[in-house]
Amino acid sequence: MHDQLLQRRLSVGTVDSFQGQERDIIAITLKRSNPQGEIGFLSDIRRMNVGMTRERSKL
């Protein structure tokens, strides 16, 4: 059982931190966190593309 737990890993990071990497499953949250309610980095299609293309099987 201990070996199985060691093999399961959860990585948490920004879209930028996952550039050039892949994971089996990716969960993306799209919460705005600025007082102006602007979409920020989502306005750059390249960054959104990175966020949506890092998964091997499930997004």
In this predicted structure, what is the pLDDT of residue 13? 85
Between CA 29 and CA 27 the distance in angstroms is 7
The model carries a pTM of: 0.60
Show me where the domains of the chain are located: 2-58
| 59 residues of the chain, pLDDT tens digit each | 556 555 667 888 888 888 888 888 888 887 777 788 787 777 788 888 888 888 888 88
* Best CA proximity match to 28, nearest among 37, 44, 43, 16: 16
Amino acid at 9: R
